[in-house]
Amino acid sequence: MTALLFGILTIALVGPIPQALSRATWPMYAPRAAMTLWQAVALAAVLSAFSTGLAIAANLLAPGADGAPTTNPVDEISRLGWFTWSVYVVIFALTLVVGARLMYAIVRVGYRTRARRNVHRSMIDLVDRVDMHRDGRDIRILDVTAPLAYCLPGLRRRVVLSEGVLSRLDHDELSAVIEHERAHLRARHDLVLEAFIALHAAFPRFVRSRSALGSVELLAEALADDQAARATAPTTVGRALVACADATAPRGAMAVGGPTTLIRVRRLSYLRPVPLISATAYTMAVAILVVPTLAVAIPWLTELNRLLSHA
């Protein structure tokens, strides 16, 4: 029963719940709380998946006639039956595969992203227009007419702008764009996005949600917009977003523009904190992590401790 509950919870946390959350409109009123909730859902999904496998393993090691855990597959098959034993083994193997895929995805995404950024950062530093620096040592300006406005996270972080963007913005709008990108760098939104990319790659396609990553990306942009709005003004940020709507960025970077620009500009018109929404989202985040643990994990840990005591 424990394994079944964990399995149902895992499927819900990687499919229906992210789908419902991605369609909701309230996260735009409380992006920080919504981001916390998304992270809680992702972490709970991983923990539930591993707990499913561990619960299955505990069932396979149920006590035999002498009270000691069974470790012989023949005894396990005799006790459980071929069908039940086969289902348990398949689910346990699937859990191990998901865990292995998750670790591989984390390493792969992290390595490739950082290698790509390092190469791009070196190129940016070579072609930087040093004579046009205006606001800080992390600014890099490219002598190109194409609209470019993005940041490169990492230890040697950069905010990259092009002359094409500079020509479109006044002083306040440029300050808003720079503050937006620096907000990404300070909050390390890139690490949050990498975690969701890895999680998306780890779970099988038939259960995972395709909208989770897009929703988290939108929330990261909303959080950066809020920081820029506090440093300048919401109307200033809105004008800057419209001016940079077609700005592009290389892979591994975070651009100020993009397909979500219209949603973000509209959001700035009603940019007001809603404490009740934030409190509810934080409460849900805690509940998603704590309640399943208390309701399901504790009984399973008690049973596992009993089995090990007879070993």
Q: What is the pLDDT of residues 208-261, one digit of tens each?
A: 666 788 899 999 999 999 999 999 999 999 999 999 888 888 877 788 888 888
87-113 mean pLDDT: 83
Give me the chain's average pLDDT, please.
Answer: 82
Helix axis angle for 211-231 and 189-202, nearest 10°, is 170
Answer yes or no: pTM beyond 0.95. Answer: no
Most confident of the following: 11-15, 135-139, 214-218: 214-218
Q: State the pLDDT at residue 212.
A: 81
Residue 69: beta bridge partners? 63
Q: Where are the domains of the chain?
A: 2-309
The Cα angle at residue 70 between residues 69 and 71, in degrees rounded to 5? 115
Give the whole-angstrom CA distance, residue 136 versus residue 133.
Answer: 7
Residue 304 has pLDDT above 60, yes or no: yes
Q: State the pLDDT at residue 234.
A: 92
Q: State the pLDDT at residue 49.
A: 79
Name the strands in the sheet holding 149-152, side by side, starting at the edge strand that comes first in the sequence.
139-142, 158-162, 149-152, 254-255
Residue 133 has pLDDT above 60, yes or no: no
Q: By mean pLDDT, which of 69-73, 158-162, 208-212 is the weakest? A: 69-73
Give the whole-angstrom CA distance, residue 202 versus residue 210.
Answer: 13
In this prediction, residue 54 has a pLDDT band, given cuts at 50, 70 and 90, of confident
